[in-house]
Amino acid sequence: MRRLLTFAAALVALFVFFALPSADAQMGRAMSVLVNNGSNIPVVVTGASLTGGVWEQVPAPGFAVAPRSSAQFVNRVGDPSGGLGGNLMLSPGAGYVHATWSWPAYQQQPGAFMSSFNMAGVFVGWSMEMGPNGPTLVINVNPM
């Protein structure tokens, strides 16, 4: 009976070792979009969509980044070589910001583009920062 239990324990250990994905495989790839609102008005999410991966927390239309605060949205894929991409539309006051990013499968670095117009009273800038947890598209909204 003892040998049978030892054999069964060994089989379970082999199954866990070979059948379950490693922690590295579960992590995949991720890219963050960080909205820093340094202005005196809320920055409202007007739309969001993905061309690859999933949101960790969906930036729902109507969600507001309060004045002098930040919000971060993470686009993630379970496959370490999977592709990521999407769009985030924001409205700081009467203005409009459209950020787009793409990190295709097997590409080392992502690309991004942002357009904005009618930005009365605020200045919007962006940068791509490479960090230990992956790239971050940083959108800064500041008073003029």
pTM attached to this predicted model: 0.79
Find out whether 140 and 122 touch, Cβ atoms under 8 Å: no
pLDDT digit string (tens) for 93-104? Answer: 888 999 999 999
With respect to residue 7, please indicate whether it lies within any of the assigned structural domains: no
pLDDT cut 70: percent of the chain above it: 81
Select from 37, 52, 39, 35 the least CA-distant residue to 127: 35
Domain count of the fold of the chain? 1
With respect to residue 10, please indicate whether it lies within any of the assigned structural domains: no
With respect to residue 17, please indicate whether it lies within any of the assigned structural domains: no
Q: What is the dihedral of CA 41, 45, 46, 47, to 10 degrees?
A: 160
Find out whether 83 and 104 touch, Cβ atoms under 8 Å: yes
Q: Between residues 9 and 75, which one has the greater pLDDT? A: 75
Residue 4: is its pLDDT beyond 80? no
Domain extent at residue 95: 27-143
Question: What is the mean predicted confidence (pLDDT) over 48-67?
Answer: 97
pLDDT score, position 1: 55
Length of the chain: 144
pLDDT score, position 76: 97
Select from 56, 135, 141 the least CA-distant residue to 93: 141
pLDDT cut 90: percent of the chain above it: 61
| The two three-digit tokens of residue 74, written as one number | 């993470």
pLDDT score, position 3: 56
Specify the CATH number for the domain of residue 131: 2.60.270.50
Find out whether 35 and 139 touch, Cβ atoms under 8 Å: yes
How sure is the predictor about 14, in pLDDT bands with cuts at 50, 70 and 90?
very low
